[in-house]
Structure 1
Amino acid sequence: MAHVLHSPFSGGDNPELEAIQSLIRRAGRHLRSDIVHEVAAGRERLPVYCLELGATAAEVPAVGFFGGVHGVERIGSHVLLAYLQSLVERLEWDELLHETLRRVRLVFMPVVNPGGMRRRTRANPSGVDLMRNAPVEADHSVPWPLGGQRLSPLLPWYRGRRDADMQPEAQALCRVVEERLLPHRFSLTLDCHSGFGMTDRIWFPYARSRQPIDCLADIYTLRNLFHSAHPYHHFYLIEPQARRYTTHGDLWDYLYDRSRARGSRRFIPLTLEMGSWLWVKKRPAQAFSMLGIFNPIAPHRHQRILRKHLTLFDFLIRAATSHQRWLPDNTRRHALHESARTYWYDPQPRPPAPLHG
């Protein structure tokens, strides 16, 4: 059996990296793994792993799963590792899984920011918030400092120096997306975070602008498919991030715009924001711990969250594999775009956004 994560505090300094290494040993030849960056941590160098299952031909679709962009949001890494463990164990006997993997490429970066995870900080060891680090400026003013600030790494949501390159962890994520996902005929990504209110949200770009994304009709169709296929999973609020707040430097804004500039075929980037305030509400003492604000500490809640999102992950893989059956054609795209625009962008009163994200 692979290494199991029992809580955000289990194991040594980096139980998540131990779990990845255990999965690599367990999966053998089925799981392709490489280290796309190493982060200096004192005398150690912490690996940033990229793990893959399935096909590699550009003709098949690809799905990318990302976690641990913010070091304190360890539950994002945990739900991905739990799902990857399930896939690895099923490789021993599940013929249907093997058939699926002949038709899709799966890419996992479960711990993008191991240095921040080791330090129990949102930012990387240089004090930079990786999700504010891309060379993208918002179309208008953003809430300060939540939308990204360049004043000091001692304050949250630090973007880095204006004249500096992106942080190496952010560059590694972008390389993986551009080299292993965007060349495929269809690709989508899910980036797992925690810490926004008490509702689980699925966000899509833009974070920098309140203008609709070009692939709005595709996302609206995907949303309707999920609700039809899983009518008892309506606990996700699916919406553009900018309905809550706008930011500078969002990596998925940057990558989506890069995909359009290079003429890539369809690419849908999604973010899962797990509502961590509910965990704090049920156990208020967690509010006095940085990890407690962003992670379910009680073992039974931690295990429940590891199970909760597996249906979503399976759905995204099935939707990608069958994308030709549901993606709207040109005759339907305009009407669906207008329906989605009305649904998501018509003026509505919104509650103030909590200071997370």
Structure 2
Amino acid sequence: MLLRFAAPRDPALIAKWISYQVFNTERQNWRRGVEAAFRYREREGHLQVPYDHTEGPYPLGGWLSDQRRAFRAGAMSGERAAELEGLGIVWDTADAAFEKNLATARAYHRLHGTLAAPRGAAILDIAVGQWLTNVRRPGGLGKDPVRAERRAAALAAIDPDWNPSTLGWTVDWQRHYAYLAQLLDKGVPLKAIAPGVTRHGEDVGRWLATQRRDWNRLNAEQQTRLGALGIAPARVARARQAPAKTSATTKSGRGAEAFHKGIQALAQYIQREGGMPGRAHVEQLQDGPHRTGVWLANARQRRDRLDAGQLAALADLGVEWAAT
């Protein structure tokens, strides 16, 4: 009987062979990935490939994700990194998306002069209003504090007041304020900006009347900014004296007295509450209760029978329909 002995196996040789096989397989996979990326770039013009995309049978989206992960970990050779960069790979897709939206925000600012866009605003088929709403939220600029600071600086370079909540007021307030300043810069007289005067579809005149009426509700910075534009609060004190001026032009002495009492009650309410009374409100005067809400509603219905002095008295109190 002949005995056959297995040929001795060299562990080092086996390890080398396995290493070669793994390296060769990995190198082939690299070439297939690069070729798939090239085909995609040639067809689409970019390498922003969805993760689940396959180029033919090749899982290109997943492969590119693996390459980005290797690049961030410092496990990719410079030669391979240069090859992918030559194809136009974006290493940080989050920054790429931010830059795209930032470019849209610049376009919106060029048109509107502010980044205080309403949530539904869109430009270049991109929902820039919703995007700005998202980035204003806590953590909306990303979890990385360095990246968040860099992004905030990029937005502030477009509009220093891009996030008005940090200043103590709303996006809506900031937008109307910006439009008011633009109207004044264009030479529109302040006295001409009455309710009904609009810019980009926003009723700036109505908003301005509200700011004058509710002046005491504004914070110090809001008052300062409006003051710099020449805006002052509604002159309640002057309105109280107005009936003396209007009584001479009112035909009925009883009607003049009733109007005077209504103005007195309305001014008292506004000074205390900062706004307009509801229809059911009854104001207490020294000589008894006054149905101020009903009086104001009736005055509006009889607007065409009020004289100029009476309308001015109401307008000075911030009654918008009297100023139109």
Q: TM-score, normalised by structure 1?
A: 0.20
Q: TM-score, normalised by structure 2?
A: 0.22
Which structure is higher in strand share? 1
Q: Which has the larger radius of gyration?
A: 2
